[in-house]
Structure 1
């Protein structure tokens, strides 16, 4: 039985830290310091101060982890598939048993609210549960090549895979990459973002407790320029799954190309929420609020653009602004509806976008400034912000702000809405709100993005493939299609006699 989140929160605010949280790399089933002894400080975004430190690795630590994974690969790929499934299923149970600690650490690492973090614990558990059921159902095909030949294909794991995990959703992104990789029979070296290391370390430990052989899943801590670059370039890494910015994604692809590793890229987004004139105003406003202000807007697939028909523009935007102003902002362990920005650097970047819009004469209807937690601390917070009636070339329309900023675009009719929605270089996700199912499906068909939801922006789950087009990347995570990144097809053909004499 774990301590309650209230007990963890009380202990944290009393002592300024939490005891017995992991701090070293997790390699070959155990925790290790960096080869060179490097350390890096970890800050709580909600208080704006350091609360612990962890190991800071480099290429030597990466090499140690990759060699451990390569050594473990032969055992793991030979393990009966149903046994792999049992281990992943046990992992789902372990995650749920440690829900409170994982949720609190996610708040302290990321800055999100406890409610958001707790929901992501369940998302991670459900992801391992889903792929546990897939392990013994991966099979090839028979090939119709003639009476005197027998042909078939078989699926094989690609080998050691790298998972480069972003700071905004450490738990769920770890699970959606690691779980299908393990289900396919691959071994993993994961690199969490430098600001959010703790839940990845705990997940790796829990996997071993669930029965995973040592070395099958390793975690190396450190900055992207050292650990991420070394991992992408390592010649024994067969595949890299990366979530992050397009700029860094380009570097990862270039490094992987040198040794012909395949890649999955989940990059930025500037996703539209399309509101047609016949939509339910109240439900659409609720959907818009959730799409942009969850996790303080720090989501690749956030609905950061409201594309609204002119006939309902005033009413819908008024409803959104009323809801935005009612959102309480503060530390994620204090019961607020919106938490912190992950770093001071990110907060400054968000405010720069807002200041540029203000200087250009754009109408900021609410928010537009940094705010403080009324209960104290020097945390990094930006008020929920709505900027109205922006032109298509506005930086707030074209660029990923990655914060609680909603950019409103006014359009004249569904065709104009489609043009506006497709009017950026990104193509990750889109939402449509309308009572006209035919119109929604026609727009969904023609949207240039990887996922579309109708009348429920965050609809779906682990079963639904996720990924983008254009500058939002390529490849798919979640669902059965995610397994294709971690499997290769081998074809086998045998000649047989036409008859037995």
Structure 2
């Protein structure tokens, strides 16, 4: 197994040894697109194509949905304990193939190899968690009169569609596929065209673990040509979507035509609330990690620092020094921070920064693009901190999805709460304080689906995740995520 950075560098110029698939995964095997078309995936660290994959369309989607509908009859009747064994074997296979998956994720998404390895480990843990939940789905009994018996039971919702984003391809695929399969549903997944490979490899490992053919299908291609036909297909019973508010709105309109149920995770503009009595050094590290991990391309990134005024100057100065010390580079070289995912994403982020500069914003650090120091190529942006901005500023209100932290100065905890809630998003929030009572008051009153106290990104697969307001609805992860793929049937019978 490759574990040292130097042994990974051959993949900078040649990814053939990874054996990346080129076709869709349908009916338990890789298949070329019906049209015969392909497209390429870029390595963001070099700004160059490194592999080709199938460019699917509505015909391929129809094949995949048909396959999953046929397989549903088998999988939903598979004993829950056996479903659990398949998922447990999948977790073990992910761990056994972890380095191959991590390298593919690194090349596809641009994130540092250490972060990619963590994502792969998390995917294995996700399958492990839901493997143990397969035979724990229990209904309820109802307190009816003595001559009646009433109870409820969970049933799989059916064929589920999964639209997987480019920022966390294997993590997001796992957190949707695993509970869907645990509940007895079948899966048709469409990974982002920027990052197709780990979803395909995951489907292959599921089959190796004993999943019947057709239970998990993966179709690659663009959102317009493959994603739109998938969410609009009348054979789909549920859609799990992770992406932007604008695209999510289009997905919801397509779901409405067929009255298809859905879970929507639509991003955020999450506040990190720092009070005067925080643990200074620990909070500095957490605030930096919250925004600069994966170059800020995380729906739940802590992209707004809401900080009490008494420690503002000292804290922002120290944070700026930490940001300036962050190393940039290709993910396989194990830098502190890798590139953003594409030229399009880089230019979008720079547009936000240029407009802020025109408005007179002060940059504590960064603010510009920065090419790969080894090759002069790739889509890199300096770790950026923008000084105190008013709450109606674009940098405060809009999701940038890059390594850009906007500071908001608060007079006190009450003002900090107001600032934390001042956007249309409500995905997550962080609170840093030594005052237990204040921490929980803020956690209670901040409008977000999840609140971290004194550790950003605290928790794991056990903790439900999802947003409020325009961050979406429904929950993934935890047992709540499992219930998303179930429908409840109530049965009442007269027995005298």
What TM bracket, shorter-length normalisation?
A: over 0.9
SS of match in other structure, 1:60: helix
Is the Cα contact below 8 Å between 1:328 and 1:338 reproduced in 2?
A: yes
Q: 1:465 to 1:455 in 2, by over 3 A?
A: same
Distance 1:403 1:461 in 2: 23
Distance 2:7 2:32 in 1: 26
SS of match in other structure, 1:230: helix
1:117 aligns with 2:116: yes
Matching residue of 2:19: 20
Matching residue of 1:439: 438
State the shift of 1:300 in Å: 0.4
Matching residue of 2:64: 65
Distance 1:475 1:10 in 2: 41
Q: 1:344 to 1:440 in 2, by over 3 A?
A: same
Distance 1:16 1:149 in 2: 65
What's the Cα RMSD here? 1.1
1:346 aligns with 2:348: no
Is the Cα contact below 8 Å between 2:271 and 2:303 reproduced in 1?
A: yes
Distance 1:127 1:8 in 2: 29
Is the Cα contact below 8 Å between 2:271 and 2:420 reproduced in 1?
A: yes
Distance 1:341 1:297 in 2: 8
1:268 aligns with 2:267: yes
Q: 1:132 to 1:19 in 2, by over 3 A?
A: closer
Matching residue of 1:471: 470
SS of match in other structure, 1:416: helix
Task: Please give the TM-score of this superposition, normalised by the length of structure 2.
Answer: 0.98
SS of match in other structure, 1:333: helix
SS of match in other structure, 1:133: helix
Matching residue of 1:460: 459
For residues 362-391 of structure 1, the C-alpha deviation after alignment (integer angstroms, 9 at most, x for no partner) is 100111010022111410000000000111
Matching residue of 1:166: 165
Distance 2:84 2:481 in 1: 16
Is the Cα contact below 8 Å between 1:233 and 1:256 reproduced in 2?
A: yes
For residues 44-102 of structure 1, the C-alpha deviation after alignment (integer angstroms, 9 at most, x for no partner) is 00000011110000010001000000000011011110000011001000000001011
Matching residue of 2:305: 306
Is the Cα contact below 8 Å between 1:73 and 1:186 reproduced in 2?
A: yes
Report the more deviating stretch, 166-175 or 487-496: 487-496
Distance 2:299 2:351 in 1: 19
Is the Cα contact below 8 Å between 2:464 and 2:476 reproduced in 1?
A: yes
Is the Cα contact below 8 Å between 1:281 and 1:315 reproduced in 2?
A: no
Q: 1:381 to 1:400 in 2, by over 3 A?
A: same
Gaps of at least 5 residues in structure 1 are none
Distance 2:59 2:123 in 1: 30
Matching residue of 2:317: 318
Task: Please give the TM-score of this superposition, normalised by the length of structure 1.
Answer: 0.97
State the shift of 1:13 in Å: 2.9
State the shift of 1:15 in Å: 3.1
Gaps of at least 5 residues in structure 2 are none
State the shift of 1:204 in Å: 0.1
State the shift of 1:10 in Å: 3.2
For residues 260-291 of structure 1, the C-alpha deviation after alignment (integer angstroms, 9 at most, x for no partner) is 11010000200000000111221111110000
Report the more deviating stretch, 9-18 or 359-368: 9-18
Is the Cα contact below 8 Å between 2:15 and 2:51 reproduced in 1?
A: no
State the shift of 1:142 in Å: 1.3
SS of match in other structure, 2:488: strand
Matching residue of 1:133: 132
Q: How does 1:417-436 map to 2 (within 5 A)?
A: 417-436=416-435
SS of match in other structure, 1:480: helix
Q: 1:146 to 1:273 in 2, by over 3 A?
A: same
Q: How does 1:22-421 map to 2 (within 5 A)?
A: 22-421=21-420
